[in-house]
């Protein structure tokens, strides 16, 4: 009998699994979740929807009603198609599977969202990462040079970028779109905290796909993302989408919440207020270098980042240690913006840890 080492693809053997640390009993500020619960009345509506759901039946395979609501609430332009995913992670996987001709390249900037690289390996695409500059700005000449050399079939630009938090200039993304022979995905997971978008460019850009998720705005548990773009592309990718990938509860509950857009909008505004407070507090701490953020998290650098991470973890505050994830992220930590109380707890733990 053969062993896993002999049969599993070498690029999979080389991966380490996506790690989710245990967070029970912690102030959880590591995963860009919205910290606020939904209002009680809305939760009662959701309870009724769950009660009435026909769990014995398969879901609506197309998610037609939910797509209509997404179109409106996310301002998807007329003429653009939508494909739904079980989180935007699944959409990344579908795009990579569809474009993975032998030798095809998936291009990303680095550091950025780690799933681009992992999913390139899952799907058998060759991953090419173009480093950002030391201040996490786009090195546009290097990106354009790499596109000319590698001719990527698929390029991901997260805007705002994770884990750095910054937006890239529109002109730079326009130049990437102009130069790219393949599909360019602008991943707008943090759109609600940024206020700029490529959604409106879709009709003028046949190779542009814009991806969004509900995970960072308050519905992480439902696992719902979508991509918008030309039907010439999406009708092909639809063939790779597993039937019923969006379950009935997700379809019903997401539609209900999105039908009352003021709820999530107001929560996003509260997160932005808190972001300014946390940013100011971090900037005032001696030795701390927070980077500008257009997202619901802040990346910061501090001497001996891993030790600071462990000291605040010992005080039951969980953030993300990015030291070692990429050379540009040496001593960098990332904190998700929480409620007022959670942010106060984080800053207090940070303050105390300086005296350890």
Q: Which residues bind ligand PLP (CB under 6 A)?
A: 32, 87-89, 113, 158, 162, 187, 189, 213, 215, 225
Q: Which is nearer to ligand PLP, 218 or 225 (CB)?
A: 225
Query: Shortest approach of ligand PLP to residue 72 CB, angstroms?
Result: 20
Smallest Cα–Cα separation from 107: which of 90, 123, 127? 127
Extract the tokens encoding 217. 């705005």
Q: Which is nearer to ligand PLP, 107 or 347 (CB)?
A: 107
Helix axis angle for 261-284 and 340-353, nearest 10°, is 20
Under 8 Å between Cβ of 133 and 143: no
Q: Which is nearer to ligand PLP, 187 or 294 (CB)?
A: 187
Helix (H) or strand (E) holding 208: strand 208-213
Query: Shortest approach of ligand PLP to residue 181 CB, angstroms?
Result: 23
Q: Cα dist. 227→65, 127, 209, 293 in Å?
A: 16, 21, 6, 24
Q: Which is nearer to ligand PLP, 321 or 353 (CB)?
A: 321
What is the distance between the alpha carbons of residues 42 and 239, in angstroms, rounded to a whole number? 35
Q: Which residue is nearest to ligand PLP (CB)?
A: 87
Query: Shortest approach of ligand PLP to residue 85 CB, angstroms?
Result: 7
Q: Which is nearer to ligand PLP, 88 or 166 (CB)?
A: 88
Query: Shortest approach of ligand PLP to residue 193 CB, angstroms?
Result: 11
The 3-state DSSP composition of the chain as helix, strand, coil percent (nearest 5) reads: 45, 15, 40
Extract the tokens encoding 93. 């996987």
Q: Which is nearer to ligand PLP, 267 or 353 (CB)?
A: 267
Kindly report the backbone phi and psi dihedral angles of residue 335, in degrees, each rounded to the nearest multiple of 5, phi listed first.
-115, 130
Kindly report the backbone phi and psi dihedral angles of residue 353, in degrees, each rounded to the nearest multiple of 5, phi listed first.
-65, -25
Neighbours of 171 (CB within 10 A): 9
Query: Shortest approach of ligand PLP to residue 304 CB, angstroms?
Result: 26
Q: Which is nearer to ligand PLP, 91 or 349 (CB)?
A: 91
What is the distance between the alpha carbons of residues 149 and 138, in angstroms, rounded to a whole number? 18
Q: Cα dist. 320→20, 31, 126, 289 in Å?
A: 10, 8, 28, 16
Query: Shortest approach of ligand PLP to residue 309 CB, angstroms?
Result: 19
Query: Shortest approach of ligand PLP to residue 217 CB, angstroms?
Result: 10
């Amino acid at each position: 009998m053969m062993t896993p080492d002999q049969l599993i693809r070498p690029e999979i053997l080389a991966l380490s699994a996506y790690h989710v640390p245990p967070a029970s009993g912690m102030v959880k500020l590591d995963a860009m979740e919205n910290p606020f619960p939904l209002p009680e009345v809305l939760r009662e509506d959701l309870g009724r929807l769950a009660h009435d759901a026909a769990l014995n039946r398969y879901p609506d395979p197309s998610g037609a009603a939910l797509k209509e609501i997404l179109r409106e609430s996310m301002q998807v332009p007329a003429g653009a198609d939508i494909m739904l995913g079980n989180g935007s992670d699944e959409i990344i996987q579908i795009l990579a599977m569809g474009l993975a001709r032998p030798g095809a390249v998936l291009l990303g900037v680095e550091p950025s969202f780690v799933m681009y690289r992992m999913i390139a390996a899952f799907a058998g695409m060759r991953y090419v990462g173009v480093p950002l500059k030391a201040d996490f700005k786009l090195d546009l000449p290097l990106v354009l040079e790499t596109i000319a050399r590698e001719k990527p079939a698929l390029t991901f630009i997260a805007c705002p970028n994770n884990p750095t938090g910054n937006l890239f200039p529109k002109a730079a993304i326009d130049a990437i779109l102009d130069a790219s022979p393949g599909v360019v995905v602008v991943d707008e997971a943090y759109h609600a905290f940024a206020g700029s978008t490529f959604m409106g460019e879709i009709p003028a850009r046949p190779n542009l796909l814009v991806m969004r998720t509900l995970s960072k705005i308050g519905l992480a548990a439902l696992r719902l993302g979508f991509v918008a773009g030309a039907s010439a592309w999406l009708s092909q990718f639809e063939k790779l989408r597993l039937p019923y990938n969006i379950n009935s509860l997700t379809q019903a509950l997401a539609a209900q919440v999105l039908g009352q857009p003021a709820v999530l909008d107001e929560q996003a505004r509260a997160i932005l207020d808190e972001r300014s407070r946390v940013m100011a507090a971090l900037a005032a701490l001696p030795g701390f270098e927070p980077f500008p953020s257009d997202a619901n998290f802040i990346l910061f650098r501090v001497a001996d980042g891993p030790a600071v991470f462990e000291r605040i973890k010992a005080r039951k505050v969980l953030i993300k240690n990015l030291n070692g994830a990429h050379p540009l992220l040496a001593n960098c930590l990332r904190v998700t913006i929480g409620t007022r109380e959670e942010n106060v707890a984080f800053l207090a733990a940070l303050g105390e840890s300086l005296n350890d």
